[in-house]
Amino acid sequence: MNANEWTPGQILDTSGFYWKTCTLHCGVKLGVFSVLGEERLGSREVARRLGADPRATAMLLDALAAMKLLVKSRDGYANTSSAQTFLRKDSPQYLGHILMHHHHLVNSWFQLDAAVRTGKSVSGSSSSTRDEEWREAFLMGMFNLAMNIAPRIAEEVDLSGRRHLLDLGGGPGTYAIQFCKKNPALRATIFDLPTTRPFAQKTVARFGVEDRVDFQEGDYLEGEITGRFDVAWLSQILHGEGPEGCRSILRKAVAALEPGGLILVHEFILDNTRDRPLFPALFSLNMLLQTAEGQAYSDGEIREMLSEAGVTDIRRLPFEGPNQSGILAGVIP
Ligand SMILES: C[S@@+](CC[C@H](N)C(=O)[O-])C[C@H]1O[C@@H](n2cnc3c(N)ncnc32)[C@H](O)[C@@H]1O
């Protein structure tokens, strides 16, 4: 059979995959994995601790066991080691924030047909601005994702000799922190909206780099960036804006850099044909749903926007991250 063709089984699996998604999200949202902790508990006891219905809780626990996130035995249910590591709130490798961010997006994805018909976002405002719980899931979800790759990026991107990095739209500052940890002479400024400050400050303190990483409150669309930098890191921010917004952000980043400064753009990058890789193509739909004009950009489009902003020596770094994220680098003449 042609490798590009789908079997009925694959079509049905893809169509129904969201049942698994929702079961996982429910386990995290209710705190099943945190309630179980290191213990082995019966379903009635889990239901009691969750304040949930006993019959429904037993059904949820069985489904989570079928998904191999829990182990069921005569004495009850226990976390698997993956659930201990990634799904318990008190684990340093907890992924629950990004899972809850995904959960917050589910309603909008169910309205994809409406967004495609109208060409308009279906979410009133972006998830980062809804309320405290949504903001925490979004920003600390970004931390969950970035922690998977930031240490590797800090190893692979050569910042030797650079003194002051601008982490534009830096969120919790994951990359600023890792770049500073790798380069002892580097300082960094996280530039982000005022509501992001507490999350960034907490993360910076957690890694003990308060003396080298500061936070500048601002709006990269409406306001200006204060200070002079010799490297700018723009990770996963351009996709939130239309081409005009991106051009304006890039102009401001370039203006904040010294001659010889390095600009680095990290995004889920489409091939120039735009129909691959898969994740950036799907991510573009996510941006259609969540933002007024956002989208995934192709390698060629990002190069062109960088060039229009006055950047030279534009090149794609060898790095390839999960979900086909890539980095384009250039220099300010
Ligand atoms: C997708 S997150 C990326 C965070 C981080 N750079 C990373 O890669 O993990 C986008 C970030 O841009 C920030 N942001 C969105 N609009 C902004 C604006 N107009 N001015 C400044 N920051 C903004 C958000 O608060 C968020 O921290």
pLDDT tops 90 at residue 15 = yes
Q: Whose CA is nearest to atom 14 of ligand 1?
A: 169
Is ligand 1 within 6 A of the CB of residue 192?
yes
Examine residue 254 and state whether it is found in any structural domain, yes or no: yes
Mean pLDDT of 56-84: 98
Q: For a pocket test of ligand 1, which of 130, 192, 241, 246 has the largest count of ligand atoms closer than 8 A to its C-beta? A: 192
CB 122 within 8 A of CB 129: no
Encoded tokens for 191: 């530039």
User: How far is 221 from 202, CA to CA, in rounded Å?
Assistant: 25
User: What is the secondary structure of 188-254 as a DSSP string?
Assistant: EEEEE-GGGHHHHHHHHHHTT-TTTEEEEE--TTTS---S-EEEEEEES-GGGS-HHHHHHHHHHHH
pLDDT tops 60 at residue 128 = no
pLDDT tops 90 at residue 236 = yes
What's the confidence (pLDDT) of residue 2?
A: 75
Is ligand 1 within 6 A of the CB of residue 193?
yes
Q: Whose CA is nearest to atom 12 of ligand 1?
A: 169
Examine residue 132 and state whether it is found in any structural domain, yes or no: no
Q: Please tell me whether residues 155 and 81 are part of one structural domain.
A: no
Examine residue 171 and state whether it is found in any structural domain, yes or no: yes
Examine residue 23 and state whether it is found in any structural domain, yes or no: yes
Q: Please tell me whether residues 76 and 197 are part of one structural domain.
A: no
CA of 219 to the centre of ligand 1 (A): 10
Examine residue 142 and state whether it is found in any structural domain, yes or no: no
What's the confidence (pLDDT) of residue 127?
A: 45
Mean pLDDT of 17-23: 98
What's the confidence (pLDDT) of residue 3?
A: 75
What's the confidence (pLDDT) of residue 53?
A: 98
Q: Whose CA is nearest to atom 11 of ligand 1?
A: 169
Q: Please tell me whether residues 171 and 271 are part of one structural domain.
A: yes
Q: What is the pLDDT of residues 266-313, one digit of tens each?
A: 999 999 999 999 999 999 999 999 999 999 999 999 999 999 999 999
Q: Please tell me whether residues 176 and 258 are part of one structural domain.
A: yes
Examine residue 108 and state whether it is found in any structural domain, yes or no: no
Which of the listed residues 61, 91, 121 is the one where a domain comes to its end?
Answer: 91
Could you tell me the CATH number of the domain that includes residue 205?
Answer: 3.40.50.150
CB 103 within 8 A of CB 26: no
Q: Please tell me whether residues 169 and 312 are part of one structural domain.
A: yes
Q: What percent of the chain has pLDDT over 70?
A: 98
Q: How many domains does the chain have?
A: 2
CA of 19 to the centre of ligand 1 (A): 30
Which of the listed residues 43, 67, 91 is the one where a domain comes to its end?
Answer: 91
CA of 166 to the centre of ligand 1 (A): 13
What's the confidence (pLDDT) of residue 4?
A: 84
Range of the structural domain that residue 229 is part of: 150-331
Is ligand 1 within 6 A of the CB of residue 170?
yes
Q: Please tell me whether residues 189 and 309 are part of one structural domain.
A: yes
The secondary structure of the chain in percent helix, strand, coil, rounded to multiples of 5, reads 50, 20, 30
Could you tell me the CATH number of the domain that includes residue 12?
Answer: 1.10.10.10
Q: Please tell me whether residues 56 and 193 are part of one structural domain.
A: no
Is ligand 1 within 6 A of the CB of residue 219?
yes
Examine residue 112 and state whether it is found in any structural domain, yes or no: no
Distances (CA, A) of 82 to 93, 96, 130, 321: 10, 13, 31, 22
